[in-house]
């Protein structure tokens, strides 16, 4: 962590413990509901409720941001999450109806819907402009490492602690996250501390009329249709039916993707040598080609390699795009952009998952990958439309 400000370090470790808690808590919740109801469909409601909460909080977030200071929002929400997790443990002991558990999961995700965009906007104000790319790479690398390790760690701990004990472990992680968050010094010139007038969601939409905001939001929505074929439901079916392999190969392919994300985080500095618009063209064309070849491929080793390569390109594109956005938008516009972007991501995730699952079930799995590859080509056209901003 050499070369980074103390504020960034506190933000980094706060996010580290908070994100680990979030991932492990979902494992505990899904495991508990499946054990309680013996229903896969019911367990699948957990991510749907969480995504819906993110989408709804996106409409309310602008009002919250305009009425309260940032440190209060971050600390209050993380503290409330600790309380809700403790209540969740209580509902498990008294074995309340599962709808109450889903309701608590919704409320926890609803609070996350305020903190996630806010955390993203703080990086360019805690670091020098020339160091933003490294900082984003560091945060992204940490998030990817959590995604790789948290599911394995959570599954192991679940066997020893059971669902309620695992959620108590998440409470401890959340408390540590709050401690680091309270160490952040918000009294710096780059982050305003005064209250501003209330802002409606309509005003947020108006604020997102900049070319950078429009490109990010359209990119997020279209890319969701490319990402949708890589979700567990489609990928597990593809591994079993098309690759004729045991289910554990899905885990290997998934792990290769996350390792690719880590590699992308480590080599992000190489992007400084390229003109961004050219990299975006070639990057999204590569994602389109990888997705298409993956869909027609029947070799396991090639599937693992393609997943790994996909992760590298995806990470390089994501980090460079967010860094460019953070460099060119002022703080208020940036906050509005990430607020709307989270809602668009949630909407895109739900819609694209539904559409791609429908195509996979009623057409063929290969056809769904072909459609996904076309989505990435559409982003190439979008990049050409907004090439002046790069």
Residue 160 CB neighbour total at 10 angstroms:
8
Q: Report pLDDT for 294.
A: 96
With beta carbons less than 8 A apart as the criterion, state whether 356 and 185 touch.
Answer: no
Q: Give the CATH superfamily of 6-182.
A: MFS general substrate transporter like domains (1.20.1250.20)
- CA dist 126 → 121, 184, 228, 313 (Å): 10, 10, 34, 27
- Enter the CATH code of domain 201-389: 1.20.1250.20
Q: Do domains 6-182 and 201-389 have the same CATH topology?
A: yes
CA 26 vs. chain centroid, Å, equals 14
Q: Could you state, in order of their start, the residue ranges of all structural domains in the chain?
A: 6-182, 201-389
Residue 144 is predicted with a pLDDT of: 62
Rounded to the nearest 5°, which phi and psi values hold at 251? -65, -40
pLDDT in tens, the chain (390 residues): 777 888 889 999 998 999 889 888 887 887 788 778 776 556 667 777 887 888 788 778 778 877 887 778 888 888 999 999 999 999 888 878 889 999 999 999 999 888 877 777 788 778 777 788 788 778 877 876 776 566 657 766 777 888 889 899 999 999 999 999 888 887 654 444 444 444 566 777 777 778 888 899 999 999 989 988 886 557 777 888 899 888 678 768 877 887 888 888 888 777 666 677 788 889 999 999 999 999 999 999 999 999 999 999 998 888 888 888 888 887 677 777 887 887 788 788 778 877 887 888 788 889 999 999 999 999 999 999 988 877
Q: What is the pLDDT of residue 272?
A: 67
pLDDT given for residue 247 in this prediction: 63
Predicted pLDDT at 233: 59
Please name which of 27, 295, 330 lies closest in space to residue 153, comparing C-alpha atoms: 27
pTM: 0.66
CA dist 110 and 51 (Å) reads 9
């Amino acid at each position: 962590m050499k070369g980074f400000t103390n504020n960034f370090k506190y933000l980094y470790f706060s996010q580290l413990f908070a994100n680990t808690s979030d991932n492990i808590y979902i494992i505990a919740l899904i495991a508990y509901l499946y054990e309680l109801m013996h229903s896969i469909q019911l367990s699948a409601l957990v991510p749907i409720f969480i995504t819906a909460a993110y989408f709804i909080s996106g409409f309310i977030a602008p009002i919250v941001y305009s009425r309260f200071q940032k440190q209060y929002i971050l600390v209050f929400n993380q503290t409330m999450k600790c309380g809700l997790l403790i209540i969740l443990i209580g509902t498990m002991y008294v074995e309340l109806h599962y709808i109450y558990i889903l309701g608590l999961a919704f409320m926890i995700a609803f609070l996350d819907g305020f903190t996630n965009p806010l955390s993203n906007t703080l990086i360019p104000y805690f670091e020098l402009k020339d160091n933003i790319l490294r900082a984003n790479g560091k945060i992204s690398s940490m998030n990817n490492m959590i995604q790789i390790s948290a599911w394995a760690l959570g599954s192991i701990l679940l066997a020893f602690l059971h669902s309620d004990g695992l959620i108590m472990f998440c409470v401890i992680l959340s408390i540590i996250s709050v401690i680091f968050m309270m160490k952040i010094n918000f009294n710096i010139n780059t982050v305003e501390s005064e209250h501003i007038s209330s802002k409606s969601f309509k005003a947020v939409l108006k604020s997102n009329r900049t070319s950078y905001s429009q490109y990010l939001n359209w990119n997020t929505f279209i890319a969701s249709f490319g990402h949708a074929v890589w979700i567990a439901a489609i990928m597990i079916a593809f591994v079993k039916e098309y690759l004729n392999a045991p289910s554990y190969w899905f885990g290997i392919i998934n792990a290769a993707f996350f390792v690719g994300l880590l590699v992308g985080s480590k080599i992000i500095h190489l992007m400084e040598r390229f003109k961004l618009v050219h990299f975006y063209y070639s990057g999204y064309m590569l994602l389109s080609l990888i997705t298409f070849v993956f869909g027609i491929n029947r070799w396991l080793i090639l599937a693992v390699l393609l997943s790994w390569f996909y992760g590298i390109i995806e990470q390089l594109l994501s980090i460079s795009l967010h860094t460019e956005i953070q460099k060119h938008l002022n703080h208020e516009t940036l906050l509005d952009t990430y607020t709307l972007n989270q809602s668009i991501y949630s909407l895109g995730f739900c819609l694209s998952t539904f559409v791609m699952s429908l195509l996979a079930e009623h057409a063929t799995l290969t056809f769904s990958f072909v459609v996904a590859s076309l989505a990435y080509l559409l982003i190439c056209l979008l990049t050409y439309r907004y090439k002046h901003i790069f």
